[in-house]
Amino acid sequence: MNRRNFLYSFSFTAAAIILGGCEKNSENNNKVVEKFNESQKLPLKLSKNETAGIFKPFTQELKIPKEINFKNIAKAKFNAQKSLVAIYKDKKTEVLTFQGDLPNPTIRIKKGDNFELDFTNSLEKPTIIHWHGVIVPEEMDGHPKDAINTQITKEYKYKINQRAGTFWYHTHPHGRTGEEIYYGLSGLYIIEDDDEKRLNLPSGEFELPLIIQDRRFDKKANLIYKEIALDNNGILGDVVLVNSTPFPYQNVKNTKYRLRILNSSSVRTYRLAFEGIESFVLIGTDGGLLEKPIIVKDILIAVAERIDIVIDFKDKKIGETVTLKTLGFKEASNFITNQKYPNLGAKIDIMKFKVTQLSTNDSVKLPRNLSSILKIKESDASKVRTITMEIIGGGIWTLNKKPYDMNRVDERVKLGSTEIWEIKNTVHMAHPFHMHGVQFQVLDRTGKIDFPTDKGWKDTVLVMPGETVRIIIKFTMPGLFVYHCHILEHEDHAMMANFLVE
Ligand code: C2O
Ligand code: CU
Ligand code: CU
């Protein structure tokens, strides 16, 4: 769909979208959520699903991305291209990839080392890669203004200057980020350092990346992107891919595993829990390890957030199964979305872990202290800014009521200074707020929901409907960067702005 048609169909139904948030229509809307809550426990009822008949859930083994480890190579090559990939066994799906297959490779690099990559754009339109959460100079960051034309190659080169953690990369062209990530252009990016190595966390076969994305497919296994204008509130799918594998399974031993989880869906927030294991341990957030592990029963992960957890299968016998599921999170929105697909409140079984082998060594003990996080003091802040999340003009998602303009500087920040940003959500939908070029800390939030992830370094924070979240940021990298809502359809719209650090 071209930009003009897109905007036209959007404003055409804007009234309906707005009504979704108000009293009169919320009854209707709740019914949909309920329906999906109680009777639509996916994928048990895949008969509703267009892909029913082409595959059975939990029969495909989890794919593990191959790794590009900068310990072994000096420079990598990515080429954004159309590819045919077997997402469903025996079927080919047209997707976008960086190296011809999905999942895209995981980048692994050590603090202090140089990252070098040649990126060629073999797509029809301009695009650019952004290294989400990695603090790099402006020219390396993948600002939408730096999108390169088709058949052009850009050289990325920068030094890793931050602590260990789980990050990710994705393309970032203005207005098309959602579509490109949807079709495949994202991957995991792991930074290691000596402090973390010393902790002896589960590694090798006991460290699994889980990249979670809900998607829509037709009967021929083709991906379906936007279908109706309501999808501009965010694309919800009925098939959950983990590492580009639909509803997979993974064989495990009865011991501890470290799971690095990334939500790179379009809009869905997951409340992750394990059926068969009551609690697990949160050890890290967007910007790396927490100070101390936190035991949780379930955990929220919004779009673009990462969580680092340790789960122990030690009480499981051979043959037993543990299911990773989302309990649903209807608190995130009462906006009407595409009723063909499970809403934000839907419970969905995502993948199964099958215990198939006894572990021969269970020497891994989780340390009590993981890292130290120096708290940024409120008294260090020289300025307080307020950013509001709003819907204007009958349906345009914005920050501070200003639709994104790539060439406008919205906030000017002094290099080296510390600031408090109050992110105020004025609408009936939760939005994950993300900033480039920094890692920040969450000071507090006005809402009632407790986010254990607020205790760690963050680059993306979920702001609930009607809530204000205060974050504190020290700006150490000069240049022009963006901040935006990370619901992909919102950022593509206009819910983005520029800040200049100088
Ligand atoms: Cu995932 Cu502008 O970022
Ligand atoms: Cu980013
Ligand atoms: Cu948003």
**How many independent structural domains does the chain possess?**
3
Residue 31: inside a domain: no
If asked whether residues 408 and 466 sit together in one domain, one would say: yes
Note the pLDDT of residue 33. Answer: 30
Measuring CA to CA, how many Å separate 12 from each of 114, 218, 278, 302, 438? Answer: 49, 26, 47, 29, 38
Give the confidence band of 123 by pLDDT, cuts at 50, 70, 90: very high
If asked whether residues 320 and 465 sit together in one domain, one would say: no
If asked whether residues 394 and 326 sit together in one domain, one would say: no
**Distance separating alpha carbons of residues 313 and 330, to the nearest angstrom:** 30
If asked whether residues 228 and 327 sit together in one domain, one would say: yes
What is the tens place of the pLDDT at every residue in 199-210?
999 999 999 999
What is the per-residue DSSP string for 336-376?
---TTS--TT--EEEEEEEEEE--S-------S-----PPP
If asked whether residues 383 and 350 sit together in one domain, one would say: no
| Type of residue found at 445 | R
Q: What is the pTM of this model?
A: 0.91
If asked whether residues 316 and 392 sit together in one domain, one would say: no
Query: Any idea what the CATH number is for the domain that residue 137 is in?
Result: 2.60.40.420
If asked whether residues 250 and 162 sit together in one domain, one would say: no
Residue 30: inside a domain: no
Give the confidence band of 364 by pLDDT, cuts at 50, 70, 90: confident
* Residues 6+ positions from 56 with CB-CB distance below 8 Å: none
If asked whether residues 214 and 140 sit together in one domain, one would say: no
If asked whether residues 490 and 387 sit together in one domain, one would say: yes
Per residue, the 3-state secondary structure of 437-455, as one string, reads: CCCEEEEEECCCCCCHHHH
Percent of the chain with pLDDT over 90: 85
276 Cα to the center of ligand 2, angstroms: 35
- Alpha carbon nearest to ligand 1 atom 1, residue: 132
Residue 295: inside a domain: yes
Residue 472: inside a domain: yes
486 Cα to the center of ligand 1, angstroms: 7
Residue 89: other Cβ atoms inside 10 A: 12
Q: Relative to the CA of 133, which ligand 1 atom is closest? A: 1
Q: Which of 357, 392, 413 is the last residue of a domain?
A: 357
If asked whether residues 108 and 245 sit together in one domain, one would say: no
If asked whether residues 298 and 325 sit together in one domain, one would say: yes
Residue 40: inside a domain: no
Q: Across the chain, what does the average pLDDT equal?
A: 90
Q: Answer yes or no: is the C-beta of 143 below 6 A from any ligand 1 atom.
A: no
Backbone angles phi, psi at 418, to 5 degrees: -115, 135
Q: Which of 174, 193, 212 is the last residue of a domain?
A: 193
Q: Which of 171, 193, 215 is the last residue of a domain?
A: 193
If asked whether residues 132 and 245 sit together in one domain, one would say: no
Q: Stretch 13-17: mean pLDDT, rounded? A: 30
405 Cα to the center of ligand 2, angstroms: 17
Domain enclosing residue 336, as ranges: 204-357
Q: Answer yes or no: is the C-beta of 304 below 6 A from any ligand 1 atom.
A: yes
